[in-house]
Amino acid sequence: MPENDVAIAAIDSFIAEQSIDRSKDGWKTSLPQPPQVEFDASKRYFWNVATNIGDIKIQLMPDIAPMHVSSTIYLARLGFYDGVIFHRVITGFMAQGGDPLGQGIGGPGYNYNGEFSSSARHDRPGLLSMANAGTRHRRQPVLPHLRPDTLTSTTSTPSSAKWSKAWRTCSNSRRAARAVGAPALNC
């Protein structure tokens, strides 16, 4: 990742200012909300997630969902996703993950407004969305879609994933993937 990326530097600075105690039980459920940062429009941002069933490369879409991307990068840089499972897999449809409690009811401790765009439609496998936690609020759990579908505006699309072995494995089984190690962000 380039050392001089202003968006990543802003997120790292915010993390340093917060003094988050990651050794404390439950730290993943009581985090302060990060600021929405400005992304360099000339760069493409990727999140490489290592799981126990294969790697996933996710292209983030800060031009469509800057707050979602700010939050995703913040949580990845903190290690929020380390060891978190895809707790719900609907064969051939989608896998849901990102809940630190592993039950689909948890999140990082903050919500933010949804971000929507008609140019980001769920018309192919590999698109990701954030879970709807009620009117105008999104929690961080990630919903990778395993086949094209007709989701409505109740989910927002901040990124798309490279159709990889890991997604194919999720789409053909109910086996839960688990994030391993610290996901890397490349831009």
- Domain range list for the chain: 6-13+44-186
Confidence of residue 173 (pLDDT cuts 50, 70, 90): very low
11-20, 24-33, 87-96: range with lowest mean pLDDT = 87-96
Of the two residues 152 and 172, the one the predictor is more confident about is: 172
Length of the chain: 187
Confidence of residue 134 (pLDDT cuts 50, 70, 90): low
In sequence order, the 6+-apart residues with CB closer than 8 A to the CB of 9 are none
The confidence score (pLDDT) of residue 133 equals 62
CATH 2.40.100.10 fits 6-13+44-186, yes or no: yes
Of the two residues 57 and 27, the one the predictor is more confident about is: 27
- Report the alpha-carbon distance of residue 145 to residue 121 in Å, rounded: 11
Confidence of residue 51 (pLDDT cuts 50, 70, 90): confident
Tens-digit pLDDT profile for residues 65-116: 899 899 989 999 999 988 888 777 777 777 778 888 888 788 898 888 878 7
Is the confidence at residue 157, as pLDDT, over 50? no
Q: How far apart are the first and last CA of the chain?
A: 6
- Report the alpha-carbon distance of residue 149 to residue 144 in Å, rounded: 12
In whole numbers, what is the pLDDT of the chain averaged over residues?
74
103-107, 108-112, 132-136, 150-154: range with lowest mean pLDDT = 150-154
Confidence of residue 154 (pLDDT cuts 50, 70, 90): very low
Q: Is 161 exposed, middle or buried (0-12, 13-18, 19+ CB in 10 A)?
A: buried
For 12, the enclosing helix (H) or strand (E) is: helix 6-18
Is the confidence at residue 42, as pLDDT, over 90? yes
